[in-house]
Amino acid sequence: MAHKVVVTREVFDDVLERLRAGATVVDNPSDRPLAPDELAVLAADADALVCALTDRIDESLLARCPKLKVVANIAVGYNNIDLAACTARGVMATNTPGVLDETTADFAWALMLGAARRVTEAERYLREGRWTGWQLKQLLGVDVHHATLGIIGMGRIGQAIARRAQGFSMPVLYCNRSRLDAATERGLNARWVARDELLAAADFVVLMVPYSPATHHLIGAAELARMKPTAVLVNTARGGVVDDRALIEALRQRTIAAAGIDVFEGEPAFDRGFLALDNVVLAPHIASSSTATRRGMAMLAARNALCVLSGERPPNLLNPDAWKS
Ligand code: GLV
């Protein structure tokens, strides 16, 4: 009998076709996020789940899906999946690293430039009919070129962000659990420093760490207080890495100049305090959202799922202990 794959959110047609070539597919064309109980009912007899960061994959779900062999997340981050629970049940979990690096780096730069040069604020000003004429001191921003870029989390995406800094003649400071090799550091004009040094010296601080209990509120009131009053903070990592209340306060008091935020604590809900601020550029978790990249991510998740169903080790296995366990 054909394997059953549940695809929890709307994906591209060619991704569904690829899955249908190897399995019976139940999809969710409405794209409505499924409540935990709905997902459990739909996946009760599923062999594979192709899911998204909006799905919570935990022990209570796994216990209700005894046939499940693989959970293929359409995301590089996987804090929505309880890996230990998957491993304990022999369920493989996979993510989509690599395919979204450049697109996400592009967007981190969009937020940096947008926040520094007040792009969305300027557009609001224009649209609201407030522009009556050119002024020398109109909407003054901060320069990006030749500024110091600080990157917290120097994995593949962090390095893609750093590569772009060369075109802006920016030295790069970075913090990461492990140091890059000397040739890579030289190539990126990057220096490994302690977090406090980075916060104090950087003109732009970009966060690119995964979310975990260890990175919860990595940037809070104390860290924001270390930053320059002219600095810009960009969060393209995960909601919860920044203490949003503390950030709103810092932006309100102008103890930092501006921020660009793509991810929020408790999203899609977010602190409405952001909306009262002009010095923040806000986006709804779209850093990887180009057509090519989102298709690539969904295709890679499908490939991971199909590999497991055909008895092969998936390319992006997160819990190797579940392989043949
Ligand atoms: C997006 O946030 C991802 O983790 O891929």
What's the CA-to-centroid distance between 291 and ligand 1, angstroms? 15
Q: Which atom of ligand 1 is nearest to the CA of 100?
A: 5
Closest residue by Cα to atom 3, ligand 1, is: 75
- Is the minimum distance from the CB of 288 to ligand 1 under 6 angstroms? yes
What's the CA-to-centroid distance between 77 and ligand 1, angstroms? 5
Residues 248, 315, single domain; the answer is no
Tokens of 313: 């080790």
Residues 106, 81, single domain; the answer is no
Residues 42, 89, single domain; the answer is yes
Over pLDDT 70: what percentage of the chain? 99
Domain extent, residue 206, equals: 101-282
Q: Which residues contact 164 (CB under 8 A, 6 or more apart)?
A: 105, 106, 109
| Cα–Cα distance measured from residue 125 to residue 166, given in angstroms and rounded to the nearest whole number | 32
Angular region, 314: left φ>0, alpha ψ -120 to 50, beta rest: beta
Q: Find the mean pLDDT for residues 32-57.
A: 97
Query: What are the DSSP E strand ranges found in 236-276?
Result: 258-261
Residue 317's beta-bridge partner residues?
A: 94
- Is the minimum distance from the CB of 241 to ligand 1 under 6 angstroms? no
| Number of separate domains in the chain | 2
What's the CA-to-centroid distance between 166 and ligand 1, angstroms? 25
Residues 30, 76, single domain; the answer is yes
Residues 8, 140, single domain; the answer is no
- Is the minimum distance from the CB of 77 to ligand 1 under 6 angstroms? yes
Q: Write the pLDDT tens digit of every residue in 173-216.
A: 999 999 999 999 999 999 999 999 999 999 999 999 999 999 99
- Is the minimum distance from the CB of 93 to ligand 1 under 6 angstroms? no
CB 86 within 8 A of CB 41: no
- Asked if pLDDT for residue 325 goes beyond 80, the answer is no
- Is the minimum distance from the CB of 260 to ligand 1 under 6 angstroms? no
Residues 118, 211, single domain; the answer is yes
Residues 135, 83, single domain; the answer is no
Site to probe by mutation for ligand 1, drawn from 104, 300, 304 as the one with most ligand atoms within 8 Å of Cβ, is 104
For the annotated catalytic residues, the residue numbers are 238, 267, 285
- Is the minimum distance from the CB of 108 to ligand 1 under 6 angstroms? no
Radius of gyration of the chain from its Cα atoms, rounded to whole angstroms: 21
DSSP, residue by residue, 210-253: PPSGGGTTSB-HHHHHHS-TT-EEEE-S-TTSB-HHHHHHHHHH
Closest residue by Cα to atom 1, ligand 1, is: 75
Q: Which of 244, 243, 237, 279 is nearest to 262 (CA)?
A: 237
Residues 72, 140, single domain; the answer is no
Residues 41, 140, single domain; the answer is no
Residues 187, 139, single domain; the answer is yes
Residues 236, 88, single domain; the answer is no
- Asked if pLDDT for residue 95 goes beyond 90, the answer is yes
Q: Write the pLDDT tens digit of every residue in 50-81.
A: 999 999 999 999 999 999 999 999 999 999 99
Q: Rounded to two decimals, what is the model's pTM? A: 0.97
Residue 151's beta-bridge partner residues?
A: 174, 206
Confidence of residue 1 (pLDDT cuts 50, 70, 90): low
* CATH number of the structural domain spanning residue 268: 3.40.50.720
Residues 256, 305, single domain; the answer is no
Q: Write the pLDDT tens digit of every residue in 228-266.
A: 999 999 999 999 999 999 999 999 999 999 999 999 999
- HSE-up of residue 97 (Cα within 13 Å, Cβ side): 13
